[in-house]
Amino acid sequence: MFEGKIKIKGAFRMKIAVIGTGYVGLIQSVGLSKLGFDCFGIDIDENKIKMLNAGKSPIWEDKLEEILKKHNGKNLKFTTNFGVIEECDAVFICVGTPQSSDGTADLKYIFAAAEGVKPYLKKNAVVVIKSTVPVGTNRKVSKILEGCNCDVVSNPEFLKEGSAIDDFFNTDRVVLGFEDNTKHEARDSMMNIYSYFYEKKTKFVITDWESAELIKYASNSFLAVKISFVNEIARLCDTVGADIKDVTKGMGYDRRIGEHFLNAGLGYGGSCFPKDVNALVKQFEENKLEAKIIASADEVNLGLIDNFFDRILKKLKNPEGKNIALFGVAFKPNTDDLRESRAVELINKLLKKKANVSCFDYVDGALKNAEELLGNKIKICKTVKETAKEADVIIIATEYSQFNDEDWGAIAERVNTKLIFDGRNILDKNKVVKYGFEYFGIGR
């Protein structure tokens, strides 16, 4: 993370508004305030704004609240009042672009935000679209803002939940999409905002709106394809007796492939990959093209849970009345986010079969959200040992490496049946087998 005194060589202090206080907007406003800019976080949700003004973050993200508390009320303020935009040199639009029922990205919040800021934009202000938006959206926003004497810039975000603050300060690249006749004032403003990254020699990609928009979708979809590819290889491993862990290790040492995003398991979830893959497929369709590889990434991903669940059923026979210990509920480690969580999908399938489900996660907020989502249908536990009590099967659904370091001897003493389905290949198989567990991983 960026440590030390806020001082941007050559940068001038700007006032910046950030519309949206979700995962993207909040990290952006908090990050920019740490870099020394005067920021307003704007949201229409009064409760969120109240919480933020009290120094509390509505989402759990490592290091977020610490920086929030430090800058809150000083160079970082939260408000529902769009009027503050009159003072701002730049406005970041960081609202959600959820999936519509037909798979396309729903842009209603983007357009509402553009309409909302329009009356207040000062001369030469720059409106920056940070949300993930389909090709053509910056152009549409620019149409909405016609007559405002402002410029629209595409600047997609690449934050990962769970490490979003670190990702903000250590981003691999800054992507800026300008239109040909963007005024130099707007280009200067963007370079000023990102001068910290320029100085630390972060790679910049300066391009047009369409390419910038596509960089985001292509990146997320490529990673999704990578995960589905590995999961497909894992299926073959299961059948022929190869170990996917060794296969991916051997692949990853090839620098052209790279070692990241090669973990086989229950596949991808979260608020981005599933919706972005679908939205990109739709963009192909809208242009009378077919996205064969990208579409099959989604197809493979959707099949993983069914396959895993079938394997569990084969072993358990009838899950009715059986005690299931689920380790991990969030869609990935270090987040409270349950959106498109494979764990939640599994829970719903198990509940349908009338199983008793207990679950655990290392992030309290994830358990709180699970309680809110599933009410009294499941038992929320504070430790893995409590979760494992009288379990007929332990299922690992979120890739926390800490699960491997738990006291498996003590866990073995508590369960009814020593059976593990490791949906994330996290455990050292030999270790748990030593304690008498029967172990099933993915492609091992």
Site for ligand UDX contains 284 (CB under 6 A): no
In the chain, how long is the greatest CA-to-CA distance? 72
Mention every residue, 6+ apart, whose C-beta is less than 8 A from residue 162.
Answer: 61, 62, 332, 333, 334, 335
- Provide the b/e sequence for 33-47 (b: ≥16 CB within 10 Å): bbbbbbbbbbbbeee
Active-site annotation holder among 94, 148, 237, 272 = 272
C-beta of 410: minimal distance to ligand UDX in Å?
27
With CB under 6 A, what is the number of residues at the site for ligand UDX?
A: 21
| Residues 439, 432: Cα–Cα separation, whole Å | 7
CA gap 222, 215 in Å, rounded: 10
Task: Select from 30, 150, 227, 380 the one that contacts ligand UDX (CB under 6 A).
Answer: 227
Site membership for ligand UDX, residue 366 (CB under 6 A): no
Q: Is 220 in the site for ligand UDX (CB under 6 A)?
A: yes
Q: Which of 20, 270, 365, 441 binds ligand UDX (CB under 6 A)?
A: 270
Cβ-based nearer residue to ligand UDX, 41 or 423: 423
Among 30, 121, 159, 388, binds ligand UDX (CB under 6 A): 159
* Residue 334 engages ligand UDX in binding (rule: CB under 6 A): no
> Given the complex with ligand UDX, which of 226 and 322 has the nearer CB atom?
226
Query: With binding defined as CB under 6 A, does residue 160 bind ligand UDX?
Result: yes
Q: Could you say whether residue 312 binds ligand UDX (CB under 6 A)?
A: no
Tokens 């593990």: give the residue. 420
Q: Is 339 in the site for ligand UDX (CB under 6 A)?
A: no
Measured at the CA of 242, the angle between CA 238 and CA 247, to 5 degrees, comes to 115
Torsion 358-362-366-371 (CA) sign: positive
Q: Which stretch binds ligand UDX (CB under 6 A): 264-272, 290-298, 306-314, 350-358?
A: 264-272
Give the separation between CA 166 and CA 63, rounded to whole angstroms: 9
Sole residue written with tokens 């009814």: 416
Residue 381 is among the residues annotated as catalytic for this protein: no
When asked if residue 196 is in the footprint of ligand UDX (CB under 6 A), the reply is no
Angle at 297 between CA 294 and CA 299, to 5 degrees: 115
Shortest distance in whole angstroms from residue 269 CB to ligand UDX: 4
30 near ligand UDX, judged by CB under 6 A: no
Among 31, 269, 423, 443, binds ligand UDX (CB under 6 A): 269
**Among residues 158, 169, 198, 284, the one that binds ligand UDX under rule CB under 6 A:** 158
Q: Is 331 in the site for ligand UDX (CB under 6 A)?
A: yes
Nearer to ligand UDX, 89 or 337 (CB): 337
Determine if 161 is a binding residue for ligand UDX (CB under 6 A): yes
Piece of 26-34, 156-164, 176-184, 426-434 that binds ligand UDX (CB under 6 A): 156-164
Q: At closest approach, how far in Å is the CB of 273 from ligand UDX?
A: 5
399 binds ligand UDX (CB under 6 A): yes
423 touches ligand UDX (CB under 6 A): no
Which range in 121-129, 198-206, 255-263, 428-436 contacts ligand UDX by CB under 6 A? 255-263
The reply to whether 248 sits near ligand UDX by the rule CB under 6 A is: no
Site residues, ligand UDX (CB under 6 A)? 157-161, 220, 223, 227, 261-263, 265, 267-270, 272-273, 331-332, 399
Residues carrying an active site annotation: 272
